[in-house]
C-alpha cells in the first residue's frame, strides 16, 4: 500500500474509533447496544461545580436551577473532612486534585438508578467538560491512584471498568497504592 493510502486508512480508522461527531460522553461509555433512554431511573443533568467538598463529593449548581451536593458514584477517596475521622493517607492529594480539576467547571451528571444516598446527596457519575475532551472524573481518580472503587448495587453500571482501572493503578504503584 502506498504512503498516502496508509495515511488515509489510519485517518479513517481514527475517525471511526474517536467519533468526533459524537459529543455525548455518556452514550460512548454505555455498554454496547444500551440506549441513553434505557438508563433506568437515571437522569442526565448539567451544572457547574461550585466547590469540591473533598475527593468524592461536590457542590454543583444545576443548570435547571438549585444546588445539589453530589456524591460521585463508584469511587471512594481517602477522608479529609468527615467529622470525627482523622485525615487519611493521600486524602489531601485526592482533595487537591478534585479542587484543581472540577471547581468552576461545567459538568455533566448521570444520576444513579438509586439517585440518593442515606444523607440525601445526589448520586451521580461525573463528566468534566473541557477541551480538548471531556473527562470521566471517576476514571481520572482511579487511573491516578487517588481513589479506590466503591460499588453499591444498583449503581454499578461502570463497576467492571472501575475495577480494571484500580487494578492497573495498584499494579503500577500509583498514588495511594504506593504511599499508603
- Active-site amino acid positions: 71, 79, 121
The CA dihedral of 113, 114, 117, 122, to the nearest 10 degrees, is 40
153 Cβ contact partners less than 8 Å away, ≥ 6 residues apart: none
C-alpha 47/C-alpha 63 separation (Å) is 5
Q: List the grid coordinates of 46.
A: 448539567
Contacts of 158 (CB under 8 A, 6+ apart): 29, 74, 125, 138
Element (DSSP H or E) covering residue 43: none
Neighbours of 49 (CB within 10 A): 22
Q: Cβ contacts of residue 13 below 8 Å, gap of 6+?
A: none
Amino acid at each position: 500500500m502506498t504512503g498516502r493510502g496508509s495515511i488515509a486508512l489510519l485517518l479513517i480508522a481514527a475517525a471511526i474509533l474517536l467519533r468526533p461527531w459524537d459529543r455525548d460522553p455518556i452514550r460512548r461509555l454505555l455498554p454496547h447496544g444500551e440506549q441513553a433512554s434505557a438508563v433506568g431511573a437515571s437522569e442526565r443533568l448539567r451544572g457547574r461545580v461550585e466547590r469540591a467538598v473533598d475527593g468524592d463529593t461536590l457542590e454543583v449548581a444545576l443548570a435547571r436551577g438549585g444546588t445539589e451536593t453530589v456524591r460521585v458514584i463508584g469511587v471512594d477517596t481517602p477522608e479529609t473532612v468527615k467529622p470525627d475521622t482523622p485525615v487519611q493517607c493521600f486524602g489531601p492529594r485526592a482533595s487537591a486534585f478534585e479542587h484543581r480539576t472540577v471547581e468552576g467547571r461545567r459538568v455533566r451528571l448521570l444520576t444513579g438508578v438509586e439517585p440518593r444516598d442515606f444523607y440525601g446527596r445526589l448520586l451521580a457519575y461525573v463528566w468534566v467538560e473541557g477541551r480538548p475532551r471531556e473527562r470521566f472524573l471517576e476514571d481520572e481518580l482511579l487511573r491516578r491512584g487517588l481513589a479506590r472503587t466503591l460499588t453499591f448495587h444498583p449503581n454499578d453500571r461502570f463497576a467492571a471498568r472501575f475495577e480494571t482501572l484500580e487494578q492497573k493503578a495498584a499494579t503500577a504503584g500509583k498514588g495511594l497504592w504506593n504511599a499508603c
